[in-house]
Amino acid sequence: MEITGRVTADAVVHKVNNNKEVVNFSIAINDSYKPKGSTEVIEVTTYINCSYWLNSKTAQWLKKAAIVQLSGRIGLNVYSNAEGKAMGSLTFHSNSLKILAFVKRTEQTENSGASQSAKLGEQPETADDLPF
């Protein structure tokens, strides 16, 4: 099964038994439809918790708002909450992950890079300093 969605929060790496690492993140899938006989479009968002076991270094690229395409299998977690009510959540166990759109660097990240080069005694390159 393949799904495509937008990452809702930065990915987190968890260590489990035998020092294995899993990357946990969630995605939002947006869809819309128009009910029969209506002109109103209904927007539906489905949130899916995802796990990726193959490479924990992938977590550094799975930032909030990135768009990912996943292949794998879907699972359902069913449990009872504190009031005894039956609850459930979807989990997608990914065996293939492709990042379709990375998150743009923020101004703060760019400024920290400039300050690091200044610490090293280098002049940060500006648009006027380009060789062409």
CATH code of the domain covering residue 107: 2.40.50.140
Residue 47 lies in a domain: yes
Asked if residues 68 and 53 have their Cβ atoms less than 8 Å apart, the reply is no
**Is the pTM value of this prediction over 0.85?**
no
Residue 132 lies in a domain: no
Whole-angstrom distance, CA of residue 23 vs CA of residue 94: 10
pLDDT at position 3: 95
Residue 4 CB contacts under 8 Å (≥ 6 apart), including other chains = 29, 67, 68, 69, 70, 100
99-116: pLDDT as tens digits: 999 988 664 444 444 444
pLDDT at position 17: 87
37-91: pLDDT as tens digits: 999 999 999 999 999 999 999 999 999 999 999 999 999 989 999 999 999 888 9
Whole-angstrom distance, CA of residue 65 vs CA of residue 102: 8
Domain that holds residue 60: 2-127
Asked if residues 30 and 44 have their Cβ atoms less than 8 Å apart, the reply is yes
